[in-house]
Amino acid sequence: MKQIPNKVYLNESDLPKQWYNIVADMKTKPSPYFSAKTGKVVSASDLEAIFPKSIIEQETCTDRYVDIPEPIMDMYRMMRPSPLCRAYRLEKALGTPAKIYYKYEGNNPSGSHKLNSAIPQAYFNMRDGIKRLTTETGAGQWGTALSVAATYYGLECTVYMVKVSARQKAYRRMIMEAYGANLIESPSELTEAGRKILKENPDNMGSLGIAISEAVEDAAGRADTNYALGSVMNHVCMHQTIIGQEAIKQFEMIDDYPDIVVACCGGGSNFSGTAFPFIRENLKGGKNTRIIAVEPSACPTMTKGKFAYDYGDVAGMTPICKMFTLGHDFMPPGIHAGGLRYHGMAPLVSQLYADGCFEATSAVQSDVFKAGLLFAKNEIIVPAPESCHAICGAIKEAEKCKETGEEKTILFTLSGNGYFDMLAYDKYLHGQTEDIAYDEKLIEQSLAKLPKIEM
């Protein structure tokens, strides 16, 4: 039998040169965004206050493939392809006949898959004449990625970081500053939204919802400044599809193809990037891969939420979109996987879930960290808490294979490394991790406040 290498690399010349836009292949097309102010469908010009034209075009694009401009390929080549790794040691530790592979997206300088979309967002803004980007960050993966991409394309970058995160995760703040970003603890005195909140409560430690409001207000108020979002929107999901496209090519190189694909799911960017190219193959016919999204039990957007129109942010400042949601009012408990603490789900992911294109499941924190440490000790990478959800899902499937004796091929995406999340591991190792579940009643209350949209 031919030995499959531990890591499969593509040649740089074989990198995907187009993003895959799943809208072209969707049975049910995604619903449009509605304006919170007018109740009407959001037009391109409504978005121009904070997004560049080329990004807005991508947001509503229906072409199956979108070319990746060469200056973006230049930067992609610095951090891609990401390796497809065979988890030989994890397989052995589990005693499973399954073949477990992981696509390692933490192997770039920003430490996560977020850079895949930060690069094109920074590039298109730069090309369209923008000098400065604003964004928000909680866990810090997105803020780090945008800082890296902004400095590469010569843009200023202001990151509104949730105050409590900035204080707890000082290293995250520091790495963004090392890449030249301007870090603002949110709520701040720099925006009306921030000032209003601080006036009510000077000790407010911030939330992602508030940080979004500040970043959007900042961008809307300056002609040279735009806003960049790290998940949820169609263009972000599309940028991430290089993950799955690369993986398919890498499986071709070793003459295999996954029976099961697993990814963690918060706002949907990493899941989209991993799963969409495999959903495409399923929709084409000929392939029948099981695709599994893993959510945190504390924030079970697809497994316990409702497919409905809702705001993207807590304050109700963003457009309204149709998605799986726990209600924009829902405040997820403070689990360590900060990147998965979002009340909604990317509209594209939501529609595909509603159409039965994949399965969704959820996991509690203690199982998630247990899986993450088993992985760390065998595959010698400490994974991000978000990515531990995918590991947990993959291990469950591998254990099923052990029971049935099936030699299934399982792929999961290891979306980021955990170097900046050591506090979370420290708490887990010292018995301080709670299995916080969602609160049925809170979700019910929150879902009762969904906006009314006339179709």
94 counts as binding a second copy under rule CB under 8 A: no
**Residue nearer to a second copy on the CB measure, 108 or 303:** 108
Nearest to 420 by CA among 451, 385, 374, 392: 385
- The count of chain residues that interact with a second copy, using the rule CB under 8 A, is 43
Please report how close the Cβ of residue 86 comes to a second copy at its closest, in angstroms: 10
Q: Which of residues 131-150 bind a second copy (CB under 8 A)?
A: 148
User: Using the rule CB under 8 A, which residue among 34, 102, 152, 353 binds a second copy?
Assistant: 152
Residues in the chain: 455
**Residue nearer to a second copy on the CB measure, 100 or 212:** 100
Cα(120)–Cα(152) distance, rounded to whole angstroms? 11
Q: Exposure pattern of 100-117 as b/e (b: 16+ CB <10 Å)? A: bbbbbbbbbebbbbbbbb
Cα(358)–Cα(259) distance, rounded to whole angstroms? 13
Please report how close the Cβ of residue 92 comes to a second copy at its closest, in angstroms: 11
User: Using the rule CB under 8 A, which residue among 157, 337, 382, 390 binds a second copy?
Assistant: 382
Please report how close the Cβ of residue 178 comes to a second copy at its closest, in angstroms: 5
Secondary-structure breakdown of the chain: helix, strand, coil percentages, each rounded to the nearest 5: 45, 20, 40
- Contact of 390 with 263, CB cutoff 8 Å: yes
Residue window 274-313: x/- pattern of binding to a second copy, with contact defined by CB under 8 A: ----------------------------------------
Please report how close the Cβ of residue 9 comes to a second copy at its closest, in angstroms: 5
User: Using the rule CB under 8 A, which residue among 179, 276, 342, 438 binds a second copy?
Assistant: 179
- Evaluate the omega torsion of the peptide bond into residue 81 and state whether it is cis, within 30 degrees of 0: yes
**Residue nearer to a second copy on the CB measure, 118 or 248:** 118
User: Using the rule CB under 8 A, which residue among 37, 49, 92, 109 binds a second copy?
Assistant: 109
Q: How many CB atoms lie within 10 A of CB 11?
A: 9
110 counts as binding a second copy under rule CB under 8 A: yes
Cα distance between the two ends of the chain: 58
420 counts as binding a second copy under rule CB under 8 A: yes
Please report how close the Cβ of residue 405 comes to a second copy at its closest, in angstroms: 26
Tell the burial category of 437 from Cβ atoms under 10 Å away from its Cβ (0-12, 13-18, 19+). Answer: middle
377 counts as binding a second copy under rule CB under 8 A: yes
State the maximum Cα–Cα separation within the chain, in Å, rounded to a whole number.
Answer: 69
49 counts as binding a second copy under rule CB under 8 A: no
Q: Give 146's contacts (C-beta < 8 A, 6+ positions apart).
A: 114, 118, 121, 122, 133, 135, 137, 157, 159, 181, 228, 230
- CA dihedral (72, 78, 84, 87) positive or negative: negative
Please report how close the Cβ of residue 320 comes to a second copy at its closest, in angstroms: 37
Please report how close the Cβ of residue 290 comes to a second copy at its closest, in angstroms: 28
Q: Give 50's contacts (C-beta < 8 A, 6+ positions apart).
A: 216, 219, 220, 226, 227
**Residue nearer to a second copy on the CB measure, 120 or 319:** 120
Please report how close the Cβ of residue 418 comes to a second copy at its closest, in angstroms: 8
Cα(344)–Cα(92) distance, rounded to whole angstroms? 37
Cα(138)–Cα(243) distance, rounded to whole angstroms? 23
Please report how close the Cβ of residue 289 comes to a second copy at its closest, in angstroms: 26
- Contact of 386 with 267, CB cutoff 8 Å: no
Using the rule CB under 8 A, give the single segment among 253-261, 266-274, 425-433, 441-449 that binds a second copy.
425-433
**Residue nearer to a second copy on the CB measure, 81 or 187:** 81
**Residue nearer to a second copy on the CB measure, 111 or 332:** 111
Please report how close the Cβ of residue 42 comes to a second copy at its closest, in angstroms: 34
Q: What is the DSSP string of 278-341?
A: HHHHHHHSS---EEEEEEETTS-HHHHSEEEEEESSTTS-SPEEEEEES-TT------S-GGG-
7 counts as binding a second copy under rule CB under 8 A: yes
Please report how many Cα atoms fall inside a 13 Å half-sphere around the Cα of residue 256, on the Cβ side: 23
**Residue nearer to a second copy on the CB measure, 44 or 178:** 178
User: Using the rule CB under 8 A, which residue among 48, 63, 67, 177 binds a second copy?
Assistant: 177
Cα(270)–Cα(282) distance, rounded to whole angstroms? 19
Nearest to 369 by CA among 356, 393, 346, 385: 385
Residue window 72-91: x/- pattern of binding to a second copy, with contact defined by CB under 8 A: -----xxx---------x--
111 counts as binding a second copy under rule CB under 8 A: yes
Please report how close the Cβ of residue 110 comes to a second copy at its closest, in angstroms: 8
Binding site for a second copy (CB under 8 A): 5-7, 9, 11-13, 77-79, 89, 107-111, 148, 151-152, 170-171, 174-175, 177-180, 373, 376-377, 379-382, 417-420, 422-423, 425-426, 429
